Chains A and B, each alone.
Chain A
Amino acid sequence: MPVDPVTALVGDQADKETYRAAYERLGLDKPLPVQFGYYVRDIVTGNFGTAISTGHPVIEDIQRVFPATVELATLSLIAGVLLGVPVGVAAAVSKGRAVDHLARIFGLFGYSVPHFWLGLIALVVFYAWLGWIGGAGRVSLGYVDVVPTVTGMILVDSALDRNWEVFRDALRHIVAPALILATTSTAYLSRMTRSFMLEQLAQEYVTTARIKGLTEWRVTMHAFRNIGVQLLTIIVLAYGGLLDGAVLTETVFGWPGFGQYLTSGLLAGDMNVVLTCTLMVGVIFLALNLAADMIYRVLDPRTR
């Protein structure tokens, strides 16, 4: 641990006695397997422990911060799909030509750029220098807790409340982190879409469509309809990847979501927070993978 969990609890001014008491209370004097046993028992009974910095149960904290990350990740995913899929289709249709190469280069950048650095640059250029977007956090200070919390997602809540001022402000704050977070998934989606489309465009039914005298656009749509299921599958998988990227993006933009909760817990030496958060991410990731698998099996007309 970066910080000793006992010190995190009692502070570094505590004397030896207090330290010893806390050490025993945390069960750290017991052998490791026993500690692990306590931990498993706790988890099974739904007790994920208390966060040191907030004093609340970790579960409650997570419930509080999770919607922020969901909002960010969902918007990112939408951006990724709206940008990545058309680019992938265009790249496949114009294979080997300029558009394809351009798409490939952008994709490469998406995979290679450290997106937390991109976030820093975006904040400096678009917030500090140009003032086009909002700064750190989800809303400017004056708008915190102004709209009643229904879903925990400020965009949704402010729209429900018809408070368009807050909505615009929230939008200004979420635009940059969402787009930055979307870079990797856009690259991934565009690459996979291209791959799927190329596979379809080589099929005989595409020739049939051409023989019928359909325009190139309709021919492309014929092929596109066949990748629907595959696309849905990778979109679900991409969502999982977004959770991963959210950790750093939230740190850069001061976004009070799950990722930031995890990192601050980590830096404070709060074992409960770290373990619980990691477990949650694992569960979500697994659930998404399973969902993707099921979607594929249920929706593919050929397997009916």
Chain B
Amino acid sequence: MSAIYFTEVAHSPTQATVQRLYFGWLRFLKNPLAVAGLVVVMLLVLVAVLAPWIATQDPFAQDLTQRLLPPSGKHWFGTDQVGRDMFSRVIYGSRVTLMIVSLVVAIVAPIGLAIGTIAGYAGGKVDTVLMRTTDIFLAFPGLVLALAFVAALGPGLVNAVIAISLTSCPGFARLARAETLIVRSSDFIAASRIQGASAVRIVLRHVVPMCVPSLVVRMTLSMAGVILTAAGLGFLGLGAQPPSPEWGAMLASGRRFLIDYWWMATFPGLAILAVSLAFNLLGDGLRDVLDPRSES
């Protein structure tokens, strides 16, 4: 028998949740690509945290006698046009990426969840107003909208994060609302209401937990897009400003030298690709485990 059965009945909600998480984890492990994604994401976090110890040199230290050197034993990824070690810059760039990802999640998750569940649960005028507003945002494709926001706010890392968050919120809110609508009409919600639970309590304790699985999947998959958008903004010079070692900005500055000094753009680009791919793989794997009905 290949199936896994519960060996004992859970005695408390906590134990039930733990059991579910455990078996979900076992199912997740069966998907090699998803596990690979998870490993890379964890690697990103590790590298970002341990950057000072992993980087071989100071990412900001310029040495004009060491300009544009190809990869070597001393500079694993070569040096850039002002003599900075590319390897260290890519390593420190992971910090910027991680910060962007974390900030976006920290902003979008609670706000999107709040808007979506409130709109879905309250219904009526509140729902209409909130959804029309998100519709306006959804009328614009992602990068263009982010560009418009950056235009209004000015360049810089924080503004880029805000711009990206604003573009991601509407889609997230819509999903939360869709999930809320499904849950809203179920019997256990009605039972809660009969027992006199307040709307806030119902939303927080019952609706939100039901939304979590598909929202986690969606959030993870969006991270890939967030990283690409952030890199794109950086490439245009609208993200983290120099001398910050943001990967997209590094691609932009390396552009002029690319023809004769190929290492200038290869490694930051590969880093972006690797991290984005990892989040996509992780998100796919999570979806197979948490939300199988949404995939064919």
Q: Classify A-B as touching or not with yes or no (CB < 8 A).
A: yes
The A253-284 residues at the B interface (CB cut-off 8 A) are: 262-263, 266-267, 271, 274-275, 277-278, 281-282
A108-B280, A114-B231, A195-B296 as given contacts; A2 in contact with B154, CB under 8 Å: yes
CB–CB B154/A243 < 8 A: no
CB–CB B269/A278 < 8 A: no
A108 to B33 alpha-carbon distance, docked (Å)? 11
CB–CB B269/A282 < 8 A: no
Question: A281 is contacted by which of B141, B272, B276, B279 (Cβ under 8 Å)?
Answer: B141
CB–CB B140/A281 < 8 A: yes
CB–CB A247/B144 < 8 A: yes
A243 to B140 alpha-carbon distance, docked (Å)? 10
Query: Which chain B positions have C-beta within 8 A of A263?
Result: 147, 236
Tell me if A34 is interfacial: C-beta within 8 Å of chain B. no
A111 to B279 alpha-carbon distance, docked (Å)? 11
Tell me if A151 is interfacial: C-beta within 8 Å of chain B. no
Tell me if A177 is interfacial: C-beta within 8 Å of chain B. no
Question: B265 is contacted by which of A117, A244, A278 (Cβ under 8 Å)?
Answer: A117
Question: B273 is contacted by which of A117, A241, A266, A282 (Cβ under 8 Å)?
Answer: A117
A116-B235, A243-B144, A282-B140 as given contacts; A194 in contact with B269, CB under 8 Å: no
CB–CB B265/A274 < 8 A: no
A271 to B145 alpha-carbon distance, docked (Å)? 14
Nearest A residue to B236, CB-CB: A263
Name which of B78-86, B99-107, B184-192, B254-262 contacts chain A: B254-262
CB–CB A116/B251 < 8 A: yes
A266 to B146 alpha-carbon distance, docked (Å)? 12
A255 to B217 alpha-carbon distance, docked (Å)? 36
Chain B facing A: main interface SS: helix
Tell me if B213 is interfacial: C-beta within 8 Å of chain A. no
Tell me if B238 is interfacial: C-beta within 8 Å of chain A. yes
Tell me if B155 is interfacial: C-beta within 8 Å of chain A. yes
Tell me if B197 is interfacial: C-beta within 8 Å of chain A. no
Query: Which chain B positions have C-beta within 8 A of A42?
Result: none
CB–CB B141/A243 < 8 A: yes
Binding site for A on B (CB under 8 A): 139-145, 147-148, 150-152, 154-155, 224, 228, 231-232, 235-238, 248, 251, 255, 258-259, 262, 265-266, 269, 272-273, 276-277, 279-281, 284, 296
Q: List 10 A-B contacts (CB under 8 A).
A: A108-B281, A111-B276, A112-B224, A113-B276, A116-B235, A116-B251, A117-B272, A251-B235, A267-B236, A278-B145
Using A251-B236, A274-B147, A275-B148 as known contacts, list a sample of 10 further A-B pairs with CB atoms less than 8 Å apart, ordered by residue number in A.
A108-B284, A111-B276, A113-B276, A117-B265, A120-B265, A244-B143, A247-B147, A262-B144, A263-B147, A266-B236
Binding site for B on A (CB under 8 A): 1-2, 108-109, 111-114, 116-117, 120-121, 123-124, 128-129, 194-195, 198-199, 240-241, 243-245, 247-248, 251, 262-263, 266-267, 271, 274-275, 277-278, 281-282, 285-286
